[in-house]
Amino acid sequence: MKPVFKSNLYFLIVLFVSMIGPYIVRRPLALLGLNYGELLMTVHAIFFILPAIIYVIVTKAPVKQTFRFNKVSLKEIGYAILIALLAQPIMTLFSLITSFFFDNDVAKAMDVMKDLPYWMMLLVVAVTPAITEEITMRGIVLSGYNHKSKIKASLMIGLLFGIFHLNGQQFLYAAALGALFAYMVRVTNSIFVSMICHFTVNGFQVSLQAILSPFTKLVGNRQDYSLRSLPMNDKINMVLTWGFVAVIFAALVAILIKKLKEAAEERGVVDSYDLLTNYGRESISGAGGVALEKDNIINIPFIATVVIYLIYMIFFA
């Protein structure tokens, strides 16, 4: 089976499981008496960690190579944290745009968990997805794109990561972050940079909510989960303002990505696609003699993923 086809097929299976799984496990998990945070962590473990274990057992994929469990330098860790912090205004812009059309389900979920202790919120919102989602997306799925260029692989993983969230309001910023995380992993050949970056992004949001929570209580508990009712002029002004800020911070992120790449190269990291190019991709074949250069990224599993996603968003979301 071609690597990209296998990765896209795995993603399709995980996506389908995450769609129907909650309806299957809802009743058994309810018997455990878990709070909302514990429930989310359990669901993540069942839907993302368990399939990853099954994938490794069935395909006999090398764990370290597939998941890129490679050490990184302190400098790279520092860059990953800075990138996460500087990406916040970019996320805000994309989240703002989609909030004009969709309800903010993330805000709803955070509101449900507002009474959980800070450490529990951090564990649920930052630690858990930084492990489960990264193992799925920047681990197994990205590994199938090793013979594709960094840009092409990152854009595809970003698109799939946007779909992965099954939420219209999250799609844009999740896709942008997914592409960013994938590029960072390819540049450093380590999943740990995306885990750190993912944790920092989500952890910052949790911490910000914890800091602002006392002030929001003072002004009342009313929550607006959508900006659809705003006048068009207000929407345009908000997009222009945040767009200007986002462009500046995007430039800073680009500089840090370059620094991250240089730091990785100091460790002797060479991208998988560059290795294939150096040795001649035409002469390299995948498992079963399948030519890697003929492994198309647009295939049946990908098309099925898009169709299922659109049907889900139109009729069930």
| 63 burial type by CB count under 10 A (0-12 exposed, 13-18 middle, 19+ buried) | exposed
pTM for the full predicted model: 0.92
Mean pLDDT score across all residues of the chain = 90
pLDDT of 156 higher than 80: yes
168-182 average pLDDT score: 97
pLDDT in tens, 296-312: 999 999 999 999 999 99
218 band by pLDDT with thresholds 50, 70 and 90: low
* 117 Cβ contact partners less than 8 Å away, ≥ 6 residues apart: none
**pLDDT score of 257 more than 90:** yes
Domain count, the chain: 1
- Is the confidence at residue 186, as pLDDT, over 90? yes
Four-residue CA torsion sign, 120, 122, 126, 131: negative
Helix (H, G, I), strand (E, B) or coil at 76: helix
Both structure tokens of 135: 């193992």
The pLDDT > 90 percentage for the chain reads 74
pLDDT at 242: 96
Q: Which of 210, 215, 222 is nearest to 114 (CA)?
A: 210
The predicted pLDDT at position 85 comes to 98
Domain range for 55 is 3-315
Q: What is the pLDDT of residue 108?
A: 78
